[in-house]
Structure 1
Amino acid sequence: MKRREFIEKTAVSTAMVGFGLSLSSFSKPDVKQITILHTNDVHSHIDPFPADDPRNPNMGGVARRASLIEAIRKENPNVLLLDAGDIFQGTPYFNYYGGELEFKLMSMMQYDASTIGNHDFDNGVDGLYAQMPFAKFEFLSANYDFKNTMMDGLVKPYKIFNKNGIKIGVFGIGIELDGLVDKRNYKETVYNDPVETSQEMVRILKKEQKCDLIICLSHLGYNYKNEPNTISDLKLAALTEDIDLIIGGHTHTFLDKPTVTKNRIGEEVLVNQVGCYGINLGRIDFFLDHNKAKSSMGKSIVV
């Protein structure tokens, strides 16, 4: 075995043991692995950063991300690829193509779902609607009500995915648009309370649909230490229950691995965010035994 392969396998094995599972448990056929890959706040960054960039030299780029995703899918076919919003705005690609290129490339990478960020309204509801035919993946937002806009019917509150006999419920939650986005851009879009909406989504997905894993795609922001009354991913986790993973965006927070926090009944919730601009790809692996008991491990992968 090559030295690099040995080091990588040893590191992964050590991480698995750290989650309280013996190595032998992962070799048993009744343990199922679900891999969640995710991005957030890519902001129209299609190309890698140039070699002379002072902060992110030679980092990112859609082609590299696509290769990385393909390699992971070969390793484990039971993959969900998700995005936490702010797909638009940040490079001339968006100014010229209006989001068409971003949606086409995400479709080619076979994204499964995305929520909607505030910058995805930068060309207005009309501009977002015009690009929807290029997206071959689901848009999920449970607390944005689009019924009085042309986006009505194009955004779902949640979607259930079945991977290797595991039911995974995914729902979207967006940030309050008032004061953040020009009213002319979001028009009659109605913002509903994210905590109440999340609990309703969990009731449907956990109690009615009997999902084994529940994931929230959030564009609320990771945390606001100086704004204690502002809802964030950490606060959402603390005020709800039965959410296994919150994948966040908006605050461009770089986490090396998911934050483990407690929900309102003391159970663990994972909260993750991988910065911005496609520099990182988040990976979280869930392991479920025959009783659907869950363990997990996660990391941020530099692209």
Structure 2
Amino acid sequence: MKRRDFITNTTAASTLIGLGGLSLSSCSNLGKKQITILHTNDVHSHIDTFPSSHSKFPNLGGIARRATLVEQIRNENPNTLLFDAGDIFQGTPYFNFYGGELEFKLMSKLKYDASTIGNHDFDNGINGLLAQMPHATFEMISANYDFSNTVMDGYVKPYKIYMVDGVKIGVYGLGIELDGLVTKKLYKETKYLNPYEIALDTEKQLKEEEQCDLIVCLSHLGYDYKNPERPCDTRLAQQTYHTDLIIGGHTHTFLDKPDVRTNQNGNSVLVNQVGCFGINLGRIDFYFDTDKNASANGVSITV
């Protein structure tokens, strides 16, 4: 993209951030092509809608309602991708009884395109994760987990490229450090690589070698931490050069609208996370003109 103008809004508020003085009203006229990216994170095996008596999320969530919403959006715009930022497993008896099989089968029914791997996705061990892979029709993406000495070798890709309506979209994944979060015997010989270094290498490859028009990171690092030494999405965004959107997880952060950070090239990067348990569905609409200049409109939808 030669220019990135990002508009982020919710039903309650909107924010205009642009390098070229793009007006809010001109958004509909800018793009000849619209790419919609939908996303979830930290669903944690929540299949059913929360009961009406629930103290925090009464009558919210549920994969059936998410499926209906996703179908409506796909009917509105067939050029739609659906991603998850990890921690698919652990949180309800569904996982205890079925070990992740139901979660993967339902995500496949919803036609997820890809997910990255969260720390809780190792809760039945790396062999338990492998056992569920036949039920996943979507890609499992992680660039900074090295599985070469494990049974998961060959089942996880560092990135995936999607061609949608002539727009080339590169998607890569990043996972949190497992040591201290996950027992060693569960992740075994999985190697954790520095996410910042891997992100810079991967986005450069996607931009310069693969010639991607849009670059997305599926991150399970966490949104933001007080400790500056701990990798997180906000600092990742500021260190990158080519990443346009970071879809986050792990910290269960409910953002009212996508956060906008500035990267090393002085361009805007969207950082979004939609809480947990399937309560919300994130939606980012990218609009491309004939020169592949882009704007983006972001919203969090309550399911």
Q: 2:156 is matched with which residue?
A: 155
The residue type paired with residue 122 of structure 1 is: D
More helix by share: 1
TM-score normalised by L of structure 2: 0.92
The residue type paired with residue 76 of structure 1 is: N
Inter-partner Cα distance in structure 1 for 2:28 and 2:60: 33
Q: 1:97 is matched with which residue?
A: 98
SS in 1 for 2:171: strand
CA contact (8 A) 1:158 1:172 kept: yes
Inter-partner Cα distance in structure 1 for 2:62 and 2:238: 35
Q: 2:50 is matched with which residue?
A: 49
How far is the alpha carbon of 1:265 from its aligned partner?
2.7
Q: CA RMSD in A?
A: 1.7
- Once the two structures are superposed, the pairs formed by residues 67-86 of structure 1 within 5 Å of their partners are 67-86=68-87
Inter-partner Cα distance in structure 1 for 2:164 and 2:16: 24
- The number of aligned residues is 290
Tell me, yes or no, if structure 1 residue 233 matches structure 2 residue 238: no
How far is the alpha carbon of 1:25 from its aligned partner?
5.8
Q: 1:264 is matched with which residue?
A: 264
Inter-partner Cα distance in structure 1 for 2:244 and 2:261: 10
Tell me, yes or no, if structure 1 residue 212 matches structure 2 residue 197: no
SS in 2 for 1:36: strand
Q: 1:8 is matched with which residue?
A: none
CA contact (8 A) 1:15 1:297 kept: no
The residue type paired with residue 113 of structure 2 is: D
- CA-to-aligned-CA distance 1:256-301 (integer Å, 9 cap, x gap): 1100011123211000000000000000001110110111110100
SS in 2 for 1:171: strand
CA contact (8 A) 1:16 1:23 kept: no
How far is the alpha carbon of 1:26 from its aligned partner?
2.6
Greater RCO between the two (CA within 8 Å, min separation 6)?
A: 2
- CA-to-aligned-CA distance 1:24-47 (integer Å, 9 cap, x gap): 66357x621100000000000000
The residue type paired with residue 182 of structure 1 is: T
The residue type paired with residue 240 of structure 1 is: T
Inter-partner Cα distance in structure 1 for 2:301 and 2:16: 20
CA contact (8 A) 1:17 1:23 kept: no
- Once the two structures are superposed, the pairs formed by residues 49-198 of structure 1 within 5 Å of their partners are 49-198=50-199
- CA-to-aligned-CA distance 1:42-86 (integer Å, 9 cap, x gap): 000000100000110000000000000000001101001000000
Inter-partner Cα distance in structure 2 for 1:22 and 1:65: 29
CA contact (8 A) 1:146 1:189 kept: yes
Q: 2:222 is matched with which residue?
A: 221
Unaligned runs of 5+ in 1: 1-10
SS in 1 for 2:177: coil
How far is the alpha carbon of 1:16 from its aligned partner?
9.5
CA contact (8 A) 1:25 1:31 kept: no
Inter-partner Cα distance in structure 2 for 1:222 and 1:18: 20
